[in-house]
Structure 1
Amino acid sequence: MRKIESSIDRRRITNRPIAIILAAAALGLFASTAVRADDSVGTVTQVNGSAQIERGGATIAAQQGTPLKLHDKVTTTDGSVTMGFGDGSSMALSSSTSVEIEDSTAVNGQNVPSRVTLISGDIHTIVPDKTGQPHSIEVNTENSKATGPSPNQ
């Protein structure tokens, strides 16, 4: 019996799965790098009137869904804006208010603001404690007030 020889290069066939695995691994590394490179700390969840975000020397309009990044300065002129964060907290800025997101920390794998400076105006923020109970904090340039369940409960 005569043996039939194939014209297909077997090295190419056996290396194809390796090439696919290497390509998938490279894509996985790229995707995880892209996720880590995302420096957002929250998003604009609501806008009434006009508000701007100063970022890296540029000014952009604050719109629902706009990501918030470290060092952003958010300013309202004749309206209000609410910002939401990955830990379940939120911050509402009233008219003629300006804040800057100065620092962040990771909470459950998500970056959230850890220091926000009130430059001028009024803010209302809701921050959940470790048990998920909300604590409400109202701050303006003249007064501050914190409400919510006692932290000793």
Structure 2
Amino acid sequence: MDYYKRANELKEDTIEIRRYLHKNAEVGLDLPNTVEYVMKQLKEYGIQPQLCGHGVTATIGKGKPVILLRADMDALPITELSGEEFACTSGNMHACGHDIHTAMLLIAARMLKEDENHLHGIVKLMFQNAEEIFKGANDMIEHVILDNPRPDAAMA
């Protein structure tokens, strides 16, 4: 697969996901709507997600090595004044780009699943909450994100 070409083909999907997440920003450890949305998207791509603490994980492929890809999902408690049609009105805002991080990992997951037969190993997905308050990674580590399968490398 030409991943660059496919990513360009999915540009509008990426924008749609990002704007949905931006408009529905949630903060902290408990992100019920965001988690539900991420799990729904993954299932639509044919991926079986699981909760990992308060976050979401899934795997694509089989064998070794295991590469973990991570995206943060939480927002900040900031009132958005952008006036954009997709602005969040709940008093929260994705001011640090976590909405696009999550959108990009969802689209990457979609492409990897489409090309799964050509993967040499496993890609483990990590959709982390509470990055802004330094609790999400520990929560997912306590719920064994680094096991079954254990990553050989990780990227965010």
The two structures have a TM-score, normalised by structure 2, of 0.25
Which protein shows a greater Rg? Answer: 1
